[in-house]
Amino acid sequence: DTEVTQTPKHLVMGMTNKKSLKCEQHMGHRAMYWYKQKAKKPPELMFVYSYEKLSINESVPSRFSPECPNSSLLNLHLHALQPEDSALYLCASSQERTGELFFGEGSRLTVL
């Protein structure tokens, strides 16, 4: 079982909705990540938080807004999404800057 917990597992939203994806880890990891994965494609990095500060933003549109309230939690706020944003959103954490990433099961998002 993964030690990175993501909620909700499934989310359906309209293009005018505001929703949030949540991620939690209690492994004491200080780096947390959001990845986006389309069907039959590899995960693509969106954001990296290191010691609760945003360290990498891979030119993600502003309709995706990450937040790291504390070292165990990572949120992804969604607003005015497009149907092409439908994907599996994966959260991960790691202990070191170049260490093993532990992934959650993902939140499958459908934008209507």
Using CB under 8 A, list all residues that contact other proteins.
2, 4, 31, 33, 40-45, 48, 50, 55-56, 90, 92, 94, 97-98, 100-106
Nearer to other proteins, 17 or 71 (CB): 71
User: Closest separation between CB of residue 94 and other proteins, Å?
Assistant: 7
| Distance of alpha carbon 46 from alpha carbon 58, whole angstroms | 5
Buried b (16+ CB within 10 A) or exposed e, 83-109: eebbbbbbbbbbeeeeeebbbbebbbb
User: Closest separation between CB of residue 71 and other proteins, Å?
Assistant: 15
